[in-house]
Amino acid sequence: MATGRASSRVTEDRVLVIACGMIAREILAVKERLGLAHVDLTCLPAEYHYYPDKIPPAMDKAITDARMEGYRHIFAGYADCGTGGMLDAVLERHGVERVPGPHCFAFYQGSAAFEAVADGDMTAFYMTDFLCRQFDAFFIKPLGLDRHPELIKDYFGNYEKVVYLAQTNDPELDRVAENAAKLLGLAFERRFTGYGDLPGALDEAAKIPA
């Protein structure tokens, strides 16, 4: 999935962000807000959220392909995202930086804020704007809960609350998150995070060394 990627010959004054498809909309919003017209975006499949072992080899190939296209300045729109350091090994080999943190749930809240609530959120099921929009596609249907709702307790029995990390103020997404909590039989909490550490990370990545 490529979004906002330069179609003409790449020049040295462009930056490519290779990101998780789950945060594509947010990266484009931050790009527009900060006026980063020289930043291009391409995404790996959002489904890799379920298969983190696929992220490092896919990133390796994406960076290699981008270098062949002429991109010198590349940034990874990922945190570690469950790769157990394997993504960092790939990025280090290519000399590419990423968004700091263990996962998007952390960098959306901001590193300091996440660390402050991490212990209390051990039994929290996180949702984001993307996961609200894709709740059926990412959770209900893949887990078979539309056909076997009795499995809800098996999958979510160890959770105590749904925490919706809201990037935007959207009543429709609020309702999705609240209804998800009711469906799963969990308490509900909404935290407006905005884009957290993402704007700062992208702004820094967009600075091309002289």
Give the domain CATH number at 43.
3.40.50
For every residue of 45-80, which 3-state class applies, written as one string?
CHHHHCCHHHHHHHHHHHHHHHHHHCCCEEEEECCC
Label residue 39 by pLDDT band (50, 70, 90).
Answer: very high
61's CB contacts (< 8 A; 6+ apart) are: none
Q: Are residues 140 and 179 in the same domain?
A: yes
Q: Are residues 97 and 119 in the same domain?
A: no
In a domain, 53, yes or no: yes
pLDDT value of position 7: 47
What's the whole-number mean pLDDT along residues 60-84?
A: 96
Q: Are residues 13 and 73 in the same domain?
A: yes
65's CB contacts (< 8 A; 6+ apart) are: none
Beta bridge partners of 134: none
Q: What is the pLDDT of residues 128-181, one digit of tens each?
A: 999 999 999 988 888 888 888 888 988 899 999 999 999 999 999 999 999 999
In a domain, 210, yes or no: no
Q: Are residues 95 and 180 in the same domain?
A: no
- Above 80 in pLDDT, residue 5? no
Q: Are residues 138 and 152 in the same domain?
A: yes
54's CB contacts (< 8 A; 6+ apart) are: 48
Within 10 Å of residue 28's Cβ, how many Cβ atoms? Answer: 17
Label residue 10 by pLDDT band (50, 70, 90).
Answer: low
Number of domains the chain contains: 2
In a domain, 181, yes or no: yes
- Above 90 in pLDDT, residue 54? yes
CA distance 143 to 76: 29
Q: What is the pLDDT of residues 191-202, one digit of tens each?
A: 999 999 999 999
Q: Are residues 126 and 86 in the same domain?
A: no
Domain encompassing residue 92: 2-103+196-205
Residue scoring higher pLDDT (143 or 72): 72
Q: What is the pLDDT of residues 81-99, one digit of tens each?
A: 999 999 999 999 999 999 9
pLDDT value of position 210: 63
